[in-house]
Structure formats: structure tokens, C-alpha cells
């Protein structure tokens, strides 16, 4: 069996397990909007991997450029980004000079993601994959910025930041691993691809339980 198919099937099953947990324990119990948005992000991940599994079974290999599964990946990062953006970010950053240093330091995460993208610009890559991977990278950069920011920023009343640091560390790791997965697959570095996929699968299973455990300390 094709190793890429095996890894995508593994990732689909892991994401499905995370999604079932989210549907039963979060969406089904009308938890806070923050938790529901993250759950929808995991659901997008599940749909993306399902598409790739079906495509591999029917077509034999994935397209290097755009395919519907890319939309699932983008949707996943959009939900993870949206959960931390806006109201949640305003709870920890009032926009004053007090947090200027933290805001500047937080750009280190998207800068690192952008540096990883430069691998796709090496000779031998076609234009379409470069564009598609560039678009995905932009969404990953936004997600990485707020996850890293909420990882290093000072805590606020109710200990919200402390409760969610484990979750934000996982999301930041997911951002990096997703880039490594794309690099490993595109540049045919199979050990890197397998390692990244293996860890992303673990992420998909444990993300929502860790988020729920932390969020229950400050919400219902």
C-alpha cells in the first residue's frame, strides 16, 4: 500500500477521533464559542484528510497543486486563528504600549513559518504548488502569531492565559508540523514527512481534551 495513503488514512482516523470527542463533549453540550470554533477546526482537518484518502484510493496520487483537500486545511487554520483573534485577544491585550514588546516578539513565530516556506522556492518546484503552498502558509502564519502571542503574554484575571498555554503550545507545534509535512512530501524527504504526520495525528487526538480541560477552569 502507498505510504502516503497509509499516513493520510492514519491522520483521518486520528482527526475523526478528535472530531467525535468534540461533537459529543463540546458541540453537543453547548460549550463556550471558543471551544466550538476549535472543534470546527478539527472537523475541517477531518474532511481534508477524508478527501485525500478518497483521492488517493481512486486516483493513485495527490496533485501537487490545488485540490479540495487544501480548503479543509485552510479552514482548519482559519478556525484556530479566529478562536484566538478578536474577543479572546482583546481580553489579554488592550492595545496599549504595555504589550508592545509582546506583540513584536510574537512576530518571531510567523517569521519562522515564512522561513520554512522558502524551501518551496528552491529550484525544481513548479509555480502552481508554490502559489498554493504560499496561500496555505499565510493562514498558518496568522494562526502561529496568535498562538505564540498567547503563549508568552502576561496572564490576566481568572488565569485564562495560564489555562490555555498547553493548548496554544499544541497549536503552535501543529503550525510547524504542517509546514514540515508539506516540505517532506513536496521535496520527497520521507522520514521528515512520516515524523510530521505521526505527530500531527497525536495532535488531532489530544487537542480538544487538553483545550477542554484548560477552559473548564475559567468557563462552563
Q: Is residue 61 part of a domain?
A: yes
d(CA 85, CA 216): 20
Give residue 156's pLDDT band: very low, low, confident or very high (50, 70, 90). low
What is the 3-state composition of the chain as percent helix, strand, coil, each rounded to the nearest 5?
85, 0, 15
d(CA 179, CA 181): 5
pTM of the model: 0.92
Q: Is residue 220 part of a domain?
A: no
Q: Is residue 158 part of a domain?
A: yes
Specify burial of residue 90 (Cβ count, 10 A radius: 0-12, 13-18, 19+).
Answer: exposed
* pLDDT tens digits, one per residue of 170-186: 999 999 999 999 999 98
The answer to whether residue 105 scores a pLDDT higher than 90 is: yes
| Structural domain range at position 184 | 3-215
The pLDDT > 90 percentage for the chain reads 64
**Mean pLDDT, to the nearest integer, of 128-134?**
89
Give residue 88's pLDDT band: very low, low, confident or very high (50, 70, 90). confident
Q: Is residue 60 part of a domain?
A: yes
The pLDDT > 70 percentage for the chain reads 96
How many CA atoms lie within 13 Å of 144's alpha carbon, on the beta-carbon side? Answer: 23
Closest CA to 14 of 38, 40, 50: 50
**Mean pLDDT, to the nearest integer, of 198-212?**
96
Indicate the number of domains in the chain.
Answer: 1
Amino acid at each position: 500500500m502507498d505510504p502516503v495513503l497509509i499516513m493520510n488514512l492514519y491522520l483521518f482516523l486520528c482527526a475523526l477521533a478528535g472530531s467525535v470527542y468534540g461533537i459529543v463533549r463540546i458541540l453537543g453540550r453547548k460549550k463556550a464559542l471558543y471551544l466550538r470554533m476549535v472543534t470546527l477546526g478539527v472537523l475541517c482537518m477531518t474532511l481534508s484528510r477524508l478527501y485525500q484518502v478518497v483521492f488517493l484510493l481512486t486516483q493513485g496520487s495527490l496533485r501537487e497543486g490545488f485540490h479540495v483537500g487544501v480548503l479543509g486545511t485552510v479552514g482548519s487554520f482559519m478556525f484556530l486563528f479566529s478562536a484566538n483573534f478578536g474577543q479572546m485577544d482583546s481580553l489579554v491585550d488592550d492595545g496599549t504600549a504595555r504589550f508592545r514588546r509582546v506583540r513584536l516578539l510574537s512576530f518571531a513565530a510567523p517569521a519562522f513559518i515564512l522561513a520554512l516556506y522558502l524551501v518551496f522556492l528552491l529550484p525544481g518546484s513548479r509555480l502552481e504548488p508554490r502559489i498554493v503552498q504560499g496561500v496555505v502558509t499565510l493562514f498558518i502564519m496568522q494562526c502561529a502569531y496568535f498562538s505564540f502571542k498567547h503563549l508568552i503574554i502576561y496572564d490576566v484575571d481568572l488565569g485564562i492565559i495560564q489555562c490555555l498555554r498547553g493548548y496554544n503550545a499544541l497549536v503552535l507545534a501543529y503550525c510547524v508540523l504542517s509546514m514540515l509535512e508539506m516540505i517532506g512530501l513536496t521535496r520527497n524527504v520521507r522520514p521528515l514527512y512520516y515524523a510530521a504526520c505521526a505527530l500531527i495525528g497525536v495532535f488531532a487526538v489530544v487537542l480538544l481534551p487538553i483545550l477542554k480541560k484548560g477552559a473548564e477552569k475559567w468557563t462552563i
